[in-house]
Amino acid sequence: MRGSLFRKNLVTTLLLAPAALWLVVFLVLPFIAIAIFSVGERAPEGGYQAALTFAQYANLPARATAFWNTMVLAPIGALACLLVAYPVAYYLALRAPDRWRLILLALIVIPFWTSLLMRTYAWMYVLGGRGIPALLAYVGIEDLRLINTPGAVLLGIVYGYLPLMILPIYVSLERLDRRLLEASADLGATPLSTFLGVTLRLSLPGVMTGFSLVMILLLGEYLIPTLLGGGKVFFIGNALVDLFLQSRNWPFGSAIAITLVLVSVVVLIVANRISTRLSGARRVDLI
């Protein structure tokens, strides 16, 4: 008995070891290194020089605009993604014919096979002067500029992160017990109130999962604003790239990175709380 328990524990340990090792080497250790960097100083020629100071954290207001822009972009981007994704997920889960569903899902996932960089670069040419504006010039709309506008950035974000929003919502809608919809209709609810009271409500965990997933990734986004926004709007991701690769102020960059991680954790916790409160307490089981 004791022997088999020991064996069970050993198997569990062995199975978890690769993942644990991976996390320690590639997540925990780098995080500790960044934390140590963040209390250091910038060497005269750039890079890191050992010290014990909180000056880098005290200097965080110097990047307040970048934090602010990110805090505005991330929820707006996630919301725009949600507004586009929900109808798609709804159609896939509740309306699409069974034989098409798998193909449609595959079509949503396939763009992920190409790197985001390539796809964003492609948008640069589609929105650039020889792309859509050139076509519009044929019908008399001259010198229209699409690239390097806030709209182009939003488009890039929605395009890039859409699948991450669709899939969790799809999963929660797909599990929806159809009898609840019938019950709601039988009890005299209009389609709209059935949607708001039953469908939307029960799919909220998926919505929150998708929302926080996209939001967390957007907190670190720098590629899309750079390529489609012309680098004119400065996000915290851009500040990090500049601090590590341009001015090589590694300690200040590390302090910002630590702050960004803390903000992301808070966002996750809050999203988790909201989602539990909205759905968990009102879980309905028919059987």
Partner 1 sequence: MPKSYRDGLPISPDKFVDQLMRLKRGSISRRDFLGLTGLGVATAVMARELGIMPTPAFAAENLGDRMSIATWPNYHDPQTFENFKAETGVAVEVNVFGSNEEMLAKLQAGGSGWSLFVPTNYTISTYKKLGIIEALDMAKLGNFDGSQEDARFTAEGTIDGTIYAVPKNWGTTGIAINTKKLTKPMTSWKEFWDTAMAEGDGRTMVHDYQLTTIGNALKYYGYSFNSLKQDELAKAEELLLKVKPHLFAVSSDYQPGMRAGDAWMTMCWTNDGAQLHRDIPEIAYVLGKEGGEIWTDFYAIPKDAPNKPAGYALLNYLMNPKVAVKEHLANGAPSTDARVNALLPKEVLDNPILYPAADLLKPLEFGAAATLTDPGRAELMARFKSA
Q: Binding partner 1 by CB under 8 A: which of 30, 47, 87, 280?
A: 47
Bridge partners, 49 (sequence order): 41
Return the H-helix or E-strand segment holding 48. Answer: strand 48-49
Identity of the residue, 207 or 257, whose beta carbon is nearer to partner 1 in the bound complex: 257
Amino acid at 212: S
Backbone angles phi, psi at 173, to 5 degrees: -75, -35
The answer to whether the beta carbons of residues 258 and 38 sit under 8 Å apart is: yes
Q: Which of residues 15-44 bind partner 1 (CB under 8 A)?
A: 42, 44
Task: Name residues contacting partner 1, limited to 155-214 (CB under 8 A).
Answer: none
Residues touching partner 1: how many (CB under 8 A)? 34
Pick the closer one to partner 1 by CB: 75 or 230. Answer: 230
Provide, rounded to whole angstroms, the least separation between the CB of residue 125 and partner 1: 8
Least distance from C-beta 146 to partner 1, angstroms? 9
Phi, psi dihedral angles at 249 (to 5 degrees) = -95, 80
Residues 168 and 211: their CA atoms lie apart, in Å, by: 9
Run of H or E including 41: strand 41-42
Out of 231, 270, 276, 280, the only residue in the binding site for partner 1 (CB under 8 A) is 231
- 3-state class (DSSP) for residue 230: coil
Quote the CA–CA distance of 39 and 55 in Å, as a whole number.
8
User: Of the two residues 65 and 272, which places its CB atom closer to partner 1 in the complex?
Assistant: 65
Distance CA 121, CA 154 (A): 15
Residue 178: both structure tokens together? 């159809």
Q: How far is the CB of 119 from partner 1 (least distance, A)?
A: 13
Q: Is residue 230 close enough to count as binding partner 1 by CB under 8 A? A: yes
Show the site string, 49-68: x = touches partner 1 by CB under 8 A, - = not.
Answer: -------------xx-xx--
- CB of residue 233 vs partner 1: minimum separation in angstroms? 8
- The token duo for 87 is 């109808």
Q: Which residues bind partner 1 (CB under 8 A)?
A: 42, 44-47, 62-63, 65-66, 69, 124-125, 128-131, 133, 145, 147-148, 226, 230-232, 234, 238-239, 242, 244-249
